[in-house]
Amino acid sequence: MDPRLINQLMRHAIRLAQKTPLSPSPNPRVGALLVSPVGEIIASGYHRTAGCDHAEIVVLKSAGKLSGDETLVVTLEPCCHHGKTPPCIDAIIRSGVRKVVVGCIDPNPAVQGRGILELRRAGVNVTLGIEEARCIELNAGFITRHVANRPFFSLKEAATLDGRVFAHGLRKITDVHADRLVHRWRREHDAVLVGIATVLADNPQLTVRFASRNRPQPARVILDSAARTPPSARVVTAHESRCLIAVGPRAPARRIASLEKAGASVLHCRVRRGRIDLDDLLNRLLDQNLYSIMIEGGPRVTQSFLAAGLVDRIDLLFSPRLSGICRGAKTILPLDHGPSFVTALLAELSLKTVGVDIWIGGYIPDSKFYRYLIDAPRQSASPQYRPQVADKIRETASP
């Protein structure tokens, strides 16, 4: 098949995976197609949510009887282990499909190349690494959870031209087009996270209101060591999605009880220097199946995550206005003795105007996620690499 057609088909499978109406967490988003030797789509599908058929099974079931000349195109390596459903590789081998095109390796230690290896051993021709970066980005949270044992964190802030996060007489810094973009970004994450000072200053809902409704609302997470969030705050009373309040051991039981009564869930976290301990928070977020988090400020929370080296991606929106504030004003990225990345350009840079505002975004070159993203093609291109990894896993797993 023409390589350009294969790439096109993979991009189609990615779009299918993006359609997933429910959050599949803790599973990844996966899309698949079954195509004829000339590239006609015979069946297409995606994995809906944990416990439902994986994308490969959806397409094999809907295609019915096969001749064996078909190609299966799938965004993520087929699984080879028993989870809530049986291994997909068994179904693929049984179906008689002889060609499989895979977007990227599944970093789950239970798979990590073994799915590819088993298919090849069964005589299936597997091509790996088609539209690989897009397939990895599709599941940034799932990938980071497996390669760094933490969620994927992206940081979004809006600022005036002089770098302030607040301006006199303005309720919002950016205009409506930028708001729509931010709501789309929210929709692509499992949760949105802010500090208590932002809740007290702005009383935000942090829900998605201006973007496609066929994806779940992200959860809202507030860092609030003393449980100061008012039960009447809009983030608590807007019940579109879960509101999780991370509190410390000294948070008064009476405040916690009234927050829970108002519908919020409380995450009991350790504190470090009087603030929520981010290492402990990461585990609480993973426990809740929250794998990709958009940090929406304010500056103190931003600073904590940056200083801890936890941020994978930054998206800044600059308004062509001046704040009219100088002394004591909060700046957009407050870094004191920042990590080494401060002098490096963001990677995969986006530089766009959005209405009257300017969007500058990209990955932090040093971040765990970006390092995986750029390393993956080299590893996938090596025909020996994955089987070796898989053998190693098997060796360590055997008694």
Least distance (Å) between residue 312 CB and ligand NAP = 18
Binds Zn ion (CB under 5 A): choice among 27, 31, 35, 54: 54
Nearer to ligand NAP, 57 or 314 (CB): 314
Binds Zn ion (CB under 5 A): choice among 88, 92, 276, 301: 88
Nearer to Zn ion, 85 or 379 (CB): 85
Nearer to ligand NAP, 30 or 282 (CB): 282
Which residue ranges make up the site for ligand NAP (CB under 6 A)? 157-159, 165-166, 173, 194-198, 201-202, 223-226, 228, 274-276, 278, 296-301, 304, 330
Instruction: Map 215-262 to HEC letters.
Output: CCCCEEEEECCCCCCCCCCHHHHCCCCCEEEEECCCCCHHHHHHHHHC
Indicate which of Zn ion, ligand NAP, none lies near residue 155 (CB less than 5 to 8 Å, by partner kind): none
Neighbours of 89 (CB within 10 A): 25
Least distance (Å) between residue 212 CB and Zn ion = 26
Q: Tell which residue, 381, 325, 380, 348, has the closest CA to residue 163.
A: 325
**CB of 235 closer than 8 Å to CB of 220:** yes
Indicate which of Zn ion, ligand NAP, none lies near residue 79 (CB less than 5 to 8 Å, by partner kind): Zn ion
Number of residues that bind Zn ion (CB under 5 A): 3
> In terms of DSSP bridges, do strands 31-35 and 41-46 run parallel, antiparallel, or are they unpaired?
antiparallel
Least distance (Å) between residue 226 CB and ligand NAP = 5
Least distance (Å) between residue 17 CB and ligand NAP = 30
Distance CA 199, CA 213 (A): 25
> In terms of DSSP bridges, do strands 31-35 and 347-354 run parallel, antiparallel, or are they unpaired?
unpaired
56 is catalytic: yes
Nearer to ligand NAP, 93 or 332 (CB): 332
Distance CA 234, CA 265 (A): 15
Indicate which of Zn ion, ligand NAP, none lies near residue 197 (CB less than 5 to 8 Å, by partner kind): ligand NAP
Indicate which of Zn ion, ligand NAP, none lies near residue 296 (CB less than 5 to 8 Å, by partner kind): ligand NAP
Nearer to Zn ion, 78 or 297 (CB): 78
Indicate which of Zn ion, ligand NAP, none lies near residue 313 (CB less than 5 to 8 Å, by partner kind): none
Q: Which of 56, 131, 132, 137 is catalytic?
A: 56
Nearer to ligand NAP, 198 or 217 (CB): 198
Binds Zn ion (CB under 5 A): choice among 6, 14, 79, 251: 79
Least distance (Å) between residue 140 CB and ligand NAP = 21
SS3 171: coil
DSSP secondary structure letters along 68-98:
S--EEEEEEPPP-S-SSS--HHHHHHHHT--
Q: For the chain, what's the residue count?
A: 399
Indicate which of ligand NAP, Zn ion, none lies near residue 54 (CB less than 5 to 8 Å, by partner kind): Zn ion
Strand segments (E) across the chain: 31-35, 41-46, 71-76, 99-104, 125-128, 152-159, 191-195, 219-223, 243-247, 265-268, 271-272, 275-276, 292-295, 313-318, 347-354, 357-363
Least distance (Å) between residue 309 CB and ligand NAP = 14
Distance CA 386, CA 391 (A): 8
Nearer to ligand NAP, 120 or 270 (CB): 270
Torsional class of 346: left (φ above 0), alpha (ψ -120 to 50), beta (otherwise): beta
Least distance (Å) between residue 299 CB and ligand NAP = 4
The helix or strand, by DSSP H or E, that contains position 16, with its residue range, turns out to be helix 3-18
**CB of 130 closer than 8 Å to CB of 101:** yes
* Residues at the contact surface with Zn ion, assessed by CB under 5 A: 54, 79, 88
Which active-site residues does the annotation give?
A: 56
